[in-house]
Structure 1
Amino acid sequence: MSVILAIESSCDETSVAICNNGKITANVIANQTIHENYGGVIPELASRVHQQNIVPVIQQALIDANVNKNELNAVAFTKGPGLLGSLLVGVSFAKSFALALDLPLIAVNHMHAHILAHFIDEPKPQFPFLCLTVSGGHTQIVLVRDYSSMEIVGETLDDAAGEAFDKTAKILNLPYPGGPLIDKHAQKGNPIDYKFPEPQIKGLDFSFSGFKTAILYFIRDQEKIDPDFIAKNLNDICASVQYSIVNILLNKLKRAAKEYGIKDVAIAGGVSANSGLRNALQELALTQQWNVFIPAFEYCTDNAAMIAIAGYHKYLNKDFVGQDVSPAARMEF
């Protein structure tokens, strides 16, 4: 029997979850709307709001799970990667909480946790499987051999796909966070109205830096002809950009599945909530005869449930860390 409290504070969500013997019984998330005023996450503000949120969020998670803190068996937390100030709040609280209750500590890699979110609910992929992990900071194709054995077989050489969505939204004067708004407008637009170049990167790696620049120049040139170009064609622009990004991602994933001979394919990370990616992956699965695994929306963006399930499997292996553990803004996969 194991009852694990997990803390996620890598960016601007303060989240706490409870995992009871492998089952998530609470997953509380406090979002930070203050960053909408600045068009992006301000690290210093994020860490301060984490300090305000972490105690009430922990209290609510214990209430939701109907668990007393004295019933806990371990404390899991996000060690990194992420914003150092935000991570510091979560790691420091986890260490203090565990020390006060004489509980073991479990350090979790944020990106591992995104992948292991697939083991929260049924259906669950079979090892080995491929996971396309896509967020604002990462774009990776990961070969997952076991809960603790994962290998990046392809990754972005510069910018992430999530950043391409967000920067495009900024170019289109959409408010932050812009990625979900592009998805919303794309559902009403023509995805093949405008053509954008697909980066020619060898192997299974990605690049989105040039793609972002191509969009910037395209919008600039069109506005020279018609200053109201964006307003008149917003839905079609969003649909075309989304279609292009999804194609870039899935073309590489298709190549990876063929190269490794794998039929179980998953997606994870914040961009896995994108409807265009989810729908296109399901369509591709029919032609490729893949078994596709897509997480529930609540487990796509940053959340502590994924930290909890990753922590649970580490707990079974007694993979603990000491009180000298420190947060890592960047860490090895």
Structure 2
Amino acid sequence: MEIRRFTEEMEESWLSPFAALSTKSRGRLRPIPQCPVRTVFQRDRDRIIHSKSFRRLKHKTQVFIIPEGDHYRTRLTHTLEVSQIARTISRALRLNEDLTEAIALGHDLGHTPFGHAGESALDEVYSKGFKHNEHSLRVVDVLEGDGGLNLTWEVRDGILNHTGDAVPATLEGQVVKLADRIAYINHDIDDAIRGGVLRLEDLPSHCRELLGDKHGQRINNMVMDVIKNSTGKDRITMSADVKRAMDDLRNFMFERVYIGSEAKKEEEKAKLVVKYLYKYFMEHPEQLPVEYKTDKKARQLERTVVDYIAGMTDRYAIRVYQQLFLPSPWVD
């Protein structure tokens, strides 16, 4: 018996009736032969991990732009924390952990340099608007590999709908959407306290009383609440009290950290870097890297420039900016 088929049978006998089964996937954009070892969702996870876009996440901003300390989160460590939280919830609910992991690992592949500052800058200059979740789907469908990673419909749906008002079609996607929020609220609090932007005592007292004072306590209480309130149901949810506390923490972080704080003081500079790069390459498309120049007939110039800039890491964007706009030192 093929190993893959054994795994598929295990899914069918063990997973919840609400779980997405590998054998019931709606398929890929382009059909491919089955792997004898891995299920379709396991292959998607592997394709994402081995992609260049995934590796670049280690040098993309989470909250602090180009932090000097070694312990601040990056977009990659955020992704790994989302994956861990989502897998814990999915395993407890007997959902498809492989699908959950694939969605979690791919959900932010389309994030820009400088995090949401870069996303905001591209959204302002690109005529069609820019949203990182939509670009994440473009990365896996078009930009990565030889014409995209050709992922399954379920993973693509989870990536596209991990943020905003849309609800993912699978419970696994819904788990990732909630795990993303649980992860970033808590690790951004941790980073803000480490950076001296917040003190623990600043957090709303009712949130601390309900969820706990420590990083691990808050995550554990949120995760346990999701598991308790989603068991045996066809949707992923929280209790009203815990959801209210989580939303209050999120609003608090917008007021004290995400907008106008010491952690964000470099954001306007970062946005200018992105906008200047966009303007320059729109006016000088011959300066695009060769892989983008050779493809310009297949894509509109504006789309090509956005693809190039969105794929940059923080430090690469700064290096290109310096090369284009700052004079090089004279060496005698």
- What is the TM-score normalised by the length of structure 2? 0.30
RCO higher in structure (CA 8 A, sep ≥6): 1
In terms of fraction of residues, the more helix-rich structure is 2
- What is the TM-score normalised by the length of structure 1? 0.30
